[in-house]
Structure 1
Amino acid sequence: MTLDIDKLRRDTPGVKNRIHLNNAGAALMPLPVYEAVKEHLDLELAIGGYEAHARARPAFERTYDAIAKLINCDRTEIALAENATDGWQMAFYGMPFKPGDRILTAEAEYAANVIGYLQMAKRTGVKIDFVPSDASGQMDVAALEQMIDERVKLISITHIPTNGGLINPAAEIGKVARRHDIPYLLDACQAVGQVPVDVAAIGCDMLSATGRKYLRGPRGTGFLYVRQGFMDKLEPPFLDMHSAKWTSLTDYKMRDDARRFENWEFNAAAVIGLGVAVDYLNALGIKETSHRLRGLAKTAREKLSKIRGLTVQDIGAEQGGIVTFTHDEKPAEEIKKLLSETTINVSVSSASSTLYDFQKRDIDDLVRASFHYYNTEDEIEALITALS
């Protein structure tokens, strides 16, 4: 399918006034998503929240089907979450760790996840080991294999880290996890919607993602995938009357599906909007949209590398739509401010977000320009002109 960029930009009112290159933070919603959210809020206004949810149940349930289609799983393996971190924590804190267990992770792991590992280490005595990167900057799969022993109880990585353009070899890591029967948790917060993600091909047991980034959904939405055959090996860190049923005065029974990782209350309008966003992407085709946004990022890297005083900081044998760079003299925050004054949105990644990676590469902060399929070559030229 050939993407109709003009139509896609007509569907995206935000591009009229800004050049939005902060898609790894929060992408611009397309009109169908906005309209779906507004329609449901109007319904809540008119008849009440519970009544509106009951009437819109098919649209709400459709979100599970859309996500399942996108990542190639069954709808019963999907739990909706407020955000990717919420979904990730429901899986991670449901793991039965004990003293001496090991968690293997990547050097470019995201701060929120590492903080979780560190808290678990304080609670249970689990040990955290960072798997070395190879020469390209991605996790070294051979090194991962060599670090496996009977104490490794979890392999947990970020598929596409927040900085550096890197796409970690998730499927190759999955082969190692399956070969040794080790649980595998994949943070796909930046990956779902940016690149094709097939949980069966990757071989992960758990995967978390958000709605606001490359899916172009509303903020405050996300999901958790848990493989059906792995579900009973986790104990949700908390339960309520949605995730479990009170069966007697002394007992309860958890749901049989992944909704055991949900709780009762939802922002129904946002969930419906997320379903519309995923359907929108499924209709376009993730292979087509990913090819375009990665092509735009590749062009931007090539042009940015020619600007005097500027260094592109991207790593990895395979790179995605996130482009990062530093300047010899100007700090990242100042560049972000100057670009904003020319109506160009970018973001800044600081050392606190991926501390191990930044310290290893001796970087304090960097500018992050993240591309989506609705961006254009003309917008790249405007970025280059402004930076020059």
Structure 2
Amino acid sequence: MCGVVVDLWWDGRDGVDGSRAGCGPAPDQGAHVIDLNAVRADTPASIERVFLDSAGSSLPPRQVLDAVIGHLRREAEIGGYTAGRERADDLEAGYGVFADLLGAEPDEIAFTDSATRSWLAAFDAVPLTAGDRILITEVEYAGNAVPILHRAREVGATVETVPSDALGQVDVEALKELLDERVKLVSLVHVPTNNGLVNPVKEVAEAAHEVGALVLLDACQSLGQLPVRADELGVDLISGTGRKWLRGPRGTGVLVVRRSAREVLRPRLVDLHSGEWVSPHEIRLREDARVFELWECSIADRLGLIAAARYALDLGLEQIRRAVADRADRLRRGLAELPGVVVRDIGEQRSGIVTFTVAGRRVVELRDELAGHGVVVSTSHAGSTLLDMTKRGLDEVVRASPHYFVEPAQVDQAVEAVSRCAR
């Protein structure tokens, strides 16, 4: 699929193999690092432009394209049902692939058509009644906040915000002060959509479990750029998408439901895949995570999602993390040196998302102007992360998210493009 090389480190400034100037820490002696030439050959569009929008929708490698397009062609030849039966074993194996990726068991994995669908299915199954409490953080995403506030209003629950610490991530000590037996759910965003921080997940989970609360981790922006393992993080539920850092197709998602959480959850959106009709007035729901799946799905896209997960596992999650951190740190340093440019990232641990503003420029105009220079970025606005953006006095930011397939020289090219726009 894609190769690795041993003891190869790309020079962060001049592109010469073997030098570490400006790259940060080198990998451990003998560690495998990503073969940049190989992954770029798998991603031709990464050569044509400086692609810095993996936090939006990344570029899939050719292996993912082959899986999706190949199956669509097969459906055109013999029909969707027959083509699906041909790939039954591959689809079943996908649960094991994602179990490996996410530190879970195969029966704790469910596939959906988006991170939103995964998150909503899990949240909707959390039993809530009047007087219950839901805790969110200051970097909660609007896609979660809207259904949380909507359902809380319906059932009479309350929604409270856990303060952030001085560095921007959730304040675990403040969380502990808020926790009691009425807290039924802690909604935690692993990597926010609008800044560079990574929240401390394990500490939050340990504190929440002291009072019996469930922890639903939104890993939409972390899955595919950071190791996300349920067995290490200790959370009860994880929602994720295929289209971002995992480099899978749009319209794909995954949900992790730990066995311990299944005893508490009450799935409400079910169909003939989630359960079976055993008598005229009786049904029997599945006992594994697939109770959160629905019958109809795109087989082609799911095969592409599984191919994307295999691709990431073959490269190595730690190797991906290092490469993304290298590109993002390089971009932050370059932008911070430009007059009129302010890097807006917060947090003690930083992710691959780099946000910034340019004095006197609207972010949408910057995005479009950078596209004219061959640099692809996106934007983030206050409505998507209202609490955080309001607290920091921001209406909008430019969001750049370099993946491992971006050359260090391309990062410098992006910095130069921003410099031209700022002038």
TM bin, normalised by shorter chain, reads over 0.9
| Structure 1 counterpart of 2:87, from 50, 56, 71 | 56
Aligned to 1:354: 385
Separation of aligned partners in 2, 1:274 and 1:303: 34
2:365 matches 1:329: no
Percent sequence identity is 41
* Aligned equivalent of 2:64, options 25, 33, 48: 33
Instruction: Work out the CA distance in 1 between the residues paired with 2:334 and 2:413.
Output: 11
Where in structure 2 are the equivalents of 1:212-291 lying within 5 Å? 212-291=243-322
Whether the aligned pair in 1 keeps the contact of 2:184 and 2:212 (CA below 8 Å) is no
Deviation of 1:285 after TM superposition, in Å, equals 0.3
Q: Which residue of 2 aligns with 1:382?
A: 413
2:75 corresponding residue in structure 1 = 44
**Cα pair 2:249 2:304 within 8 Å, conserved:** yes
Distance in 2, matches of 1:158 and 1:324, equals 17
Matched, 1:143 2:174: yes
For residues 300 and 93 of structure 2, the distance between their equivalents in structure 1, rounded to whole angstroms, comes to 13
Distance 2:322 2:415 in 1: 22
Mapped to 2, the partners of 1:253 and 1:151 lie a distance apart of 30
Deviation at 1:296, TM superposition (A): 0.9
Query: Superposed, which structure 2 residues align to 1:8-27 within 5 Å?
Result: 8-27=39-58
Q: 2:193 aligns with which of 162, 165, 180?
A: 162
Q: Is 1:186 matched with 2:217?
A: yes
Does the residue aligned with 2:251 lie in a helix, a strand or coil? coil
In 2: Cα distance, 1:344 partner to 1:62 partner = 38
1:35-114 aligned within 5 A: 35-114=66-145
Amino acid at match of 1:250: H
8 A Cα contact 2:99 2:106, kept in partner: yes
Q: What letter corresponds to residue 269 of structure 2 in structure 1?
A: F
2:38 — aligned with what? 7
Q: Which residue number in structure 1 is paired with residue 402 of structure 2?
A: 371
Asked whether 1:294 is paired with 2:321, we answer no
Aligned partner of 2:159 among 128, 131, 151: 128
- 1:304 touches 1:312 (CA, 8 Å); kept in 2? yes
Cα deviations by residue, 1:133-163 (Å, 9 ceiling, x for unpaired): 0000000000000111121111111100101
Aligned length: 388
Deviation at 1:16, TM superposition (A): 2.6
d(CA) in 2 for partners of 1:203, 1:210: 20
Deviation, 1:372, is: 0.6
String of CA shifts for 1:159-179, please: whole Å, max 9, x gaps.
Answer: 001011010001111111222
Whether the aligned pair in 2 keeps the contact of 1:63 and 1:275 (CA below 8 Å) is yes
Residue 206 in structure 1 maps to residue 263 in structure 2: no
Distance 1:2 1:188 in 2: 24
Greater than 3 Å deviation, 4+ residue runs: none
Identify unmatched segments of 5+ residues in structure 1.
none
Q: Secondary structure at the match of 1:233?
A: coil
Please tell me the residue identity of whatever aligns with 1:321.
G
Indicate if the aligned counterparts of 1:178 and 1:203 stay in contact, CA closer than 8 A: no
CA RMSD between the two structures: 0.8
Q: Name the TM-score, length of structure 1 as normaliser.
A: 0.99
- Provide the C-alpha distance between the structure 2 equivalents of 1:372 and 1:338, rounded to a whole number of angstroms: 21
Q: What displacement does 1:43 show?
A: 0.7
Q: In 1, Cα distance between the equivalents of 2:153 and 2:209?
A: 28
Aligned to 1:195, the other structure's residue is in SS state: coil
